[in-house]
Chain A
Amino acid sequence: MGSDANTHASNNPPARLTGAEIVWATLVGEGVTDVFGYPGGAILPVYDALRKFPIHHVLVRHEQGAAHMADGYARASGKVGVAIATSGPGATNLVTGIATAMLDSIPIVCITGNVSSKVLGTDAFQEVDITGITLPVTKHNFLISRTEEIAPAIRYAFQIAQTGRPGPVLVDITKDAQQGTAIFDFAAAKPRPHRPHPMLNVEEHGLAQAVELIRNAKRPVILAGHGVIESGAEEQVRALAERAQIPVALTLLGLGGFPASHPLNLGMMGMHGEAWVNHAIQEADLLIACGMRFDDRVTGTISTYATKAKKIHIEVDPAEVNKNIKVDVALIGDLRTVLEELLPRISSGHGGRDGSAWIKTIESSKGAVAVRDIKNLPDSGHLYAAHVIHDIWRITGGNAILVTDVGQHQMWAAQYYHHERPRTLITSGGLGTMGFALPAAIGAKFACPDREVWVIAGDGGFQMTAAELSTIAQEGIKINIAIINNGYLGMVRQWQEFFYERNYEATPLVSPDFVKLADAHGIAGRRVQTRSEVASAVEEARSAPGTFLLNFMVEKEDSVYPMIPAGSSLHEMIRRPEKDPLMET
């Protein structure tokens, strides 16, 4: 919230402003420099006042894009992202983006205009009950009908969005409140201090129990989730792992929270996690869950999940504790703070256990898996998504911000791009929202203009928000776009292949020529069909001055392996068939 950044607003003496001006002045006070939005009648007063304030407004092509951009901005920077829309359809178009942020606990503030307070509730033109609609997908929302309530509500929204477990907040402001005037006093509009959730609980007793469990464990595994990144606990998790020699498995959203190259990093767990990771979890005698919520995509069947393991759960949201998996010790609080309390009590080495034996067991269970690693296969003339992503990783040195869409390519991106640092993988985990990547990447680029940003999208999902190409063109920003074009809604096709007797209903997909589509937006592009072209294409995209689109024509019926079918146990995985027709030359 950087009260230092507030200079502009807070140093100005209280003055009488219109509600519209108050909206911007408050945003400036909160340190906002970029917002993503789309105008309309009920928010016009706010737009009219914009030119007086030092805020850059990015005009999106669909309000869903605005919410995703705010989300990508927040994920890349750790700051609050802001989206703006008009009433009615503008507001409802935000909903998917808001729900995406809610499910992944991303701090965004959405500001919508609404009809005048005098006609609220009368089905006036473009009126919808957006606070009602978004109630279950926001952390909180406000309906503001008086000018003097605007600044306090927006400041409160910023506080709510980023305290405790973060999440989206919506502030709906009636048109007459925007048009009215009030004294604007940024400092006086400050919310009450954040009250931590009353059920946070890190007791001496629990800490002692945790230390004891860690000391006595023979086969411990740390499960690192999104909370590691949101709490900024990367150092602490690393210290715990290194000090007690505990291997670390990551959730999809946890990737980057622990360096991929670290010898104790096992990799991603869950539905598309590598076999040894899930086996290690199933064999473990202690799981230390750090900022993760035992989502069904990582546990498989709950009744058979890690039955031999005691469980320690360190989590900021008390409602997540004992929700899916019963735990033995719950340390309910901010992950970083809890680990800082725990760490001094953890002795180095591995207590009574022969830590290296456990780690060696896991190592050996990797077995021949590394052999099937795509990068070790000779070029068969086939182009696999894995090649593409592996090359992007290699050529960018793993330093890019990777923004994925949802589907097979998302899982391949998680498997073949190795994240060393937090906030380098931006992906919709909880809601799994197709169409997320392109707008989220735009948001990430505004948050980190100096970073290299790559979109990894499927041919299906890309078309859901492809209109944002013209936002890119209008803003003149540079991002690199890789479309993993398999001619299918690939992940659904994969389920049809495995579980519906290859009945490919509604998954074959006709797409436009994406390179021509880019061209129509003044964006350069190239079609890539063979493995030998990948590296040069990636280089070409990187060195192009503007946004560049690569259309990778990959194997149509490749699948993501291994896979744990939904509702199965973690150890019941489908592996890549020995004789995979795709793998043979």
Chain B
Amino acid sequence: MLHTFVAYVEDLPGVLTRVASLFRRLNININSLTVGRSERVGLSRLTLVCEASAEAGHRIRASLYKLENVVDVDDIAQAPSVTRELALIKIAATPRNRSGIFELVEVFRARIVDLAPESLTIEMTGVESKIEGLIQVLNEGEERILEICRSGKMTMRRGHHTSSVLKAMGADADQAAEEPTEDSAAGEPE
């Protein structure tokens, strides 16, 4: 099954290697991996998607926690969550055949972010299937896709986060750099 792990890791050299090395050792292919700054100073947040047996989830999470630089690990599994991916798609297009693409972009609620005499670039954010859909339609059309750049999935649980580790850290006095406090939580509208 597809596993989605969300982890907070220390923002230090080599940390990503340690995470990646764990999956290499287990001979598990990483389908996608996104990393960026989080709401906490000094901590990066990553979303890692991989294919592994259902039972493997527990062990992967436990093993991730054994890495000294990994602070929090959430196995999203089937939990209600918001998942997005960003894609940049560059297409060969001249002013003559652009209009069809404009329509397509409208339908898919994407955006044109670059327009050049011989090409244009579409930015699309959405769930994986929508991005796949756009790419498929583009492939079926006459336009030639020049480049595709996809961010990989980013995932966030719906509702207030439930990580006990992060909560414990939030309660920690010397971890003061965080913005929202614990009691600012309320049910978010969807």
Q: Which residues of A contact B (CB under 8 A)?
A: 131-132, 135-136, 139-140, 143, 160, 197-199, 317-319, 321-323
* Residue in B17, B62, B65, B68 whose CB lies within 8 Å of A132: B17
Contact B68 A322 (CB under 8 A): no
The 8 A-B pairs of least Cβ separation, nearest first, read A319-B62, A318-B62, A140-B68, A319-B63, A198-B165, A199-B62, A319-B59, A197-B65
Judge if B66 is at the interface, Cβ distance under 8 Å.
yes
**Complex Cα–Cα for A139 and B63 (A):** 11
* Residue in A132, A135, A322 whose CB lies within 8 Å of B58: A322
Least CB distance, B58 to chain A, in whole angstroms = 7
18 CB-based A-B contacts, threshold 8 Å: A132-B17, A135-B17, A135-B21, A136-B21, A139-B68, A140-B68, A143-B13, A160-B68, A197-B62, A198-B73, A198-B164, A198-B165, A199-B61, A199-B62, A318-B62, A319-B63, A319-B66, A322-B58
How many residues of B are counted as interface, with CB atoms below 8 angstroms from the partner's CB atoms? 20
* A residues less than 8 Å from B58 (CB atoms): 318, 321-322
Closest to A160 in B: B68
**Complex Cα–Cα for A198 and B63 (A):** 11
Judge if B190 is at the interface, Cβ distance under 8 Å.
no
Judge if B96 is at the interface, Cβ distance under 8 Å.
no
Most buried by B among A131, A197, A317, A319: A319
* A residues less than 8 Å from B61 (CB atoms): 199
Contact A136 B25 (CB under 8 A): yes
Judge if B18 is at the interface, Cβ distance under 8 Å.
yes
**Complex Cα–Cα for A323 and B165 (A):** 24
Most buried by A among B18, B58, B66: B66
* A residues less than 8 Å from B18 (CB atoms): 135
Contact B59 A322 (CB under 8 A): yes
- Per-residue CB contact flags for chain B residues 60-72 toward chain A (1 = under 8 Å, else 0) read 0111011110001
Given contacts A136-B25, A198-B165, A323-B59, contact A318 B17 (CB under 8 A): no
Least CB distance, B164 to chain A, in whole angstroms = 7
**Complex Cα–Cα for A264 and B61 (A):** 38
Least CB distance, B89 to chain A, in whole angstroms = 36
Given contacts A135-B18, A198-B165, contact A318 B25 (CB under 8 A): no
**Complex Cα–Cα for A318 and B73 (A):** 14
Given contacts A132-B17, A135-B18, A136-B25, contact A199 B65 (CB under 8 A): yes
**Complex Cα–Cα for A132 and B13 (A):** 12
Q: Which residues of B contact A (CB under 8 A)?
A: 13-14, 17-18, 21, 25, 55, 58-59, 61-63, 65-68, 72-73, 164-165
* B residues less than 8 Å from A317 (CB atoms): 62, 66
**Complex Cα–Cα for A199 and B72 (A):** 11
Least CB distance, B27 to chain A, in whole angstroms = 13
**Complex Cα–Cα for A323 and B13 (A):** 30
**Complex Cα–Cα for A323 and B18 (A):** 21
* B residues less than 8 Å from A199 (CB atoms): 61-62, 65
Closest to B66 in A: A319
* Residue in B13, B55, B65, B68 whose CB lies within 8 Å of A318: B65
Contact A322 B164 (CB under 8 A): no
* B residues less than 8 Å from A140 (CB atoms): 67-68
Closest to A199 in B: B62
**Complex Cα–Cα for A135 and B13 (A):** 13
Contact B55 A197 (CB under 8 A): no
**Complex Cα–Cα for A143 and B14 (A):** 10
* A residues less than 8 Å from B59 (CB atoms): 319, 322-323
* B residues less than 8 Å from A321 (CB atoms): 58, 62
* B residues less than 8 Å from A135 (CB atoms): 17-18, 21
**Complex Cα–Cα for A131 and B55 (A):** 31
**Complex Cα–Cα for A387 and B75 (A):** 55
* A residues less than 8 Å from B55 (CB atoms): 322
Least CB distance, A186 to chain B, in whole angstroms = 20
Most buried by A among B55, B58, B67, B164: B58
**Complex Cα–Cα for A143 and B12 (A):** 11
A-B contact sample (12 more), CB < 8 A, given A143-B14, A322-B55: A131-B14, A135-B17, A135-B18, A135-B21, A136-B21, A139-B66, A140-B68, A160-B68, A197-B65, A197-B66, A318-B58, A321-B62
**Complex Cα–Cα for A131 and B63 (A):** 19
**Complex Cα–Cα for A198 and B62 (A):** 9
Least CB distance, B1 to chain A, in whole angstroms = 16
**Complex Cα–Cα for A136 and B55 (A):** 22
Least CB distance, A155 to chain B, in whole angstroms = 14
Least CB distance, B21 to chain A, in whole angstroms = 6
**Complex Cα–Cα for A140 and B164 (A):** 24
Closest to A140 in B: B68
**Complex Cα–Cα for A135 and B15 (A):** 11
**Complex Cα–Cα for A199 and B59 (A):** 11
Closest to B164 in A: A198
* B residues less than 8 Å from A198 (CB atoms): 65, 72-73, 164-165
* B residues less than 8 Å from A136 (CB atoms): 21, 25
* A residues less than 8 Å from B62 (CB atoms): 197, 199, 317-319, 321
* A residues less than 8 Å from B25 (CB atoms): 136
* B residues less than 8 Å from A143 (CB atoms): 13-14
**Complex Cα–Cα for A253 and B17 (A):** 32
Closest to B71 in A: A195
**Complex Cα–Cα for A132 and B14 (A):** 9
**Complex Cα–Cα for A91 and B59 (A):** 31
* B residues less than 8 Å from A160 (CB atoms): 68
